[in-house]
Structure 1
Amino acid sequence: MRGLLPAWVAVAESDGGAGPRQPPAFPEELDHIAHAVPARRAEFLQVRHCARRALTAAGFQAGPLLPGPDRAPRWPAGAVGSMTHCTGYRAAAVAAAGRVRAVGIDAEPHEALPPEVRTLVADPEEQAALRRLERLHPRVHWDRLLFSAKESVFKAWYPLTGQWLDFHDARVTIHPGDGGFTARLATTELHGRWAATPRLLTTAVTLPAQRNLTGSAENAPCRVER
């Protein structure tokens, strides 16, 4: 994830391994997950441990990170951030609101989407593009990467607009040669980055502070959490 974001975005990552003790947590967070199953408790606490590390690296005081009524994490005043977790991986990215308006990150296991989910995620144009990518570069599960890119876009979009997006509300074009992707939403165009390993797919989008959601917004070169 570190290589997908500008240097001024603080990133903390973890493999989600079970250590001898659970990560430090605030009482409010423990209350929130008091009735959760063990796996959910672990991912909730581990990803927030990453988030506090990223907050500290970005110069913020780390406190409880509770989800709001919409399930989006509530960041400290002046901070903009995003979290993600999947099997074997947790990450958080944080920046000062003066540098970035929004950030969205996502990680997914590197495996194909179920066919019924693929149809929900990709519109006909995107499905045709996926088939081309799969013929040319069969070692990447492009449908899962498309899913991840849209999750990153939605995580950046929602805190700014308060509006949920359907998967077909964003049309994503993946650029296999340069590790980038472009997302088009109505009059807005966002540019993100992606990476693939044999185990993991990661994506990230940032919207710099000087840009807004009309026109084009780009990352520096280089699932609201659900």
Structure 2
Amino acid sequence: MIAPTQHLVALQTLAKQFAPSGAEIAVADPTGGSAVVLPQEAPAIANARPKRRREFAAGRQAARAAMRQLGARQHAIPVGPDRAPVWPSGLSGSISHDASSCVAIVGPTAQFLAFGVDVEPDAPLPEAVIEEICVSDERIWLESQPARQRGVLARRIFCAKEAVYKAQYPLTRALFGFDAVHISLNALESGFSARFRRDIDNVPAQTVVSGRCASAGGHIFALVTLGAMRGMENANFPVCALG
């Protein structure tokens, strides 16, 4: 078996530091083309281009590796009508990829209602799209930062928003744009808070969730955990879709 490249080792080390106790995270390489897709998953990429096939397969490989670390059976993860992963009964999870990495997190639903992970290249967000991604307060904050850091900080905001969206979606099935959430990166740049700027389904405006976001191995990684038990991170997030 070929050892993972160093950038994946660094990403996995960071991701495992962020993962809450009781959940497992794994990474995979989407560039090699050796990952296996199970029959139940194959229809999702029947007409996809080779690059998309490799990314999909590597994401499922990472998810099954996380299941194995968790001690769970390694199930298929097909996609639903909305193209979101359909996780096995009793498990919550999330998958993300960029051009050179895939990452997945899995945990029991008895502990975790939902996860949201996102991985992005550790590179500046193009200036032309910052206004599309960042709301006015975020842009004002970016302007207060050193010029050489603004593009990468904007990319972190983007990564955090993606993680928030992925975490809430299994519970609300709500679609929304980048302007629905305001991200505040903390001073240590290893965490963030996300404030909903308007009502999203039955999640009221001003709801706040916390998450983690940092860089390793040329990647930016963000994670949001919606805990299912009192005292866990974001356990008070409105989850009316389950009620």
Indicate conservation of the 8 Å contact 2:142/2:154, yes or no. yes
Structure 2: how far apart are the matches of 1:208 and 1:167? 23
Indicate the residue corresponding to 1:161 in structure 2. Answer: 172
User: Which structure 2 residue ranges, 5 or more long, are not aligned?
Assistant: 1-14, 197-204, 230-234, 239-243
Amino acid at match of 2:226: L
Structure 1: how far apart are the matches of 2:132 and 2:83? 22
Amino acid at match of 2:35: P
Structure 1: how far apart are the matches of 2:25 and 2:210? 19
> Cα gap change, 1:139/1:170 in structure 2, threshold over 3 Å: closer, same or farther?
closer
Indicate conservation of the 8 Å contact 1:55/1:62, yes or no. yes
- Runs of 4+ aligned residues of structure 1 deviating over 3 Å after TM superposition are none
Structure 1: how far apart are the matches of 2:175 and 2:146? 30
Indicate the residue corresponding to 1:151 in structure 2. Answer: 162
Indicate the residue corresponding to 2:181 in structure 1. Answer: 170
- Match for residue 84 of structure 2 among 72, 81, 84: 72
Amino acid at match of 1:84: S
Indicate the residue corresponding to 2:20 in structure 1. Answer: 6
Alpha-carbon distance, 1:63 to partner: 2.1
Alpha-carbon distance, 1:140 to partner: 7.0
Indicate the residue corresponding to 2:40 in structure 1. Answer: 28
User: Which structure 1 residue ranges, 5 or more long, are not aligned?
Assistant: 215-226
TM-score (norm 1): 0.87
Count of aligned residue pairs for this structure pair:
212
1:15 lines up with 2:39 in the alignment: no
Structure 1: how far apart are the matches of 2:183 and 2:80? 28
TM-score (norm 2): 0.81
Indicate the residue corresponding to 2:73 in structure 1. Answer: 61
Alpha-carbon distance, 1:187 to partner: 3.5
Alpha-carbon distance, 1:159 to partner: 0.6
1:78-135 deviation per Cα after TM superposition (whole angstroms, max 9, x unaligned): 1110000001110100110111111111000111222332111111100011222344
Larger deviation: 176-185 or 35-44? 176-185
Structure 2: how far apart are the matches of 1:197 and 1:12? 15
Indicate conservation of the 8 Å contact 1:145/1:201, yes or no. yes
Greater relative CO, 1 or 2 (CA 8 Å, sep 6+)? 1
1:86 lines up with 2:98 in the alignment: yes
- Match for residue 123 of structure 2 among 111, 117, 125: 111
Alpha-carbon distance, 1:177 to partner: 1.3
